[in-house]
Amino acid sequence: MQPILFYYHRQLDFKKTIYLSFLFAEIDIADVCEPKSSVIRTMELLKKYQTGPKKLIGILSMTTSANMLNVSWFLSSLPSQKSVIQIGTAETADKLNNRALYRTFFRVIPDDGYQFQLIAQLLKKLNWNYVAILYEKDVYGEEGAKLLTYNVYNNMLNDDTGRFKFQEVGYYNGKDLILNNSPRQLSDSPHYNSSFSWVHLFFYAFLILRCRLFLSFRSRIRQALDCSPTDRERELGLDRRETG
Question: What are 155's strand-pairing partners?
Answer: none
How high is the pLDDT of residue 2? 60
How high is the pLDDT of residue 65? 81
Residue 12 carries which side chain, given as an amino acid letter? L
Dihedral of alpha carbons 204, 217, 175, 180, sign: positive
Q: Please, what's the b/e burial string for 194-224 (b: 16 or more CB within 10 A of its CB; e: otherwise)?
A: eeeebbebbbbbbebbebebeeeeeeebeeb
How high is the pLDDT of residue 81? 80
User: Cα–chain-centroid distance for residue 162?
Assistant: 31
How high is the pLDDT of residue 68? 82
DSSP assigned state of 50 = T
DSSP assigned state of 126 = T
How high is the pLDDT of residue 114? 83
* 244 residues of the chain, pLDDT tens digit each: 566 666 666 666 655 544 455 555 666 776 666 666 778 888 888 888 877 778 887 888 877 787 788 888 888 888 888 888 888 888 888 888 888 889 999 988 888 888 888 887 887 777 777 777 777 887 778 888 888 878 777 765 555 555 566 677 777 777 777 776 655 555 544 455 544 444 444 444 444 444 343 333 444 444 444 444 445 445 545 444 444 4
What's the whole-model pTM score? 0.57
DSSP assigned state of 51 = S
How high is the pLDDT of residue 53? 78
Bridge-based pairing of strands 130-136 and 105-107 is unpaired
The enclosing H or E element of 71 equals helix 65-76
Helix (H, G, I), strand (E, B) or coil at 206: helix
Bridge-based pairing of strands 105-107 and 177-179 is unpaired
How high is the pLDDT of residue 192? 52
Number of Cβ within a 10 Å radius of residue 177: 15
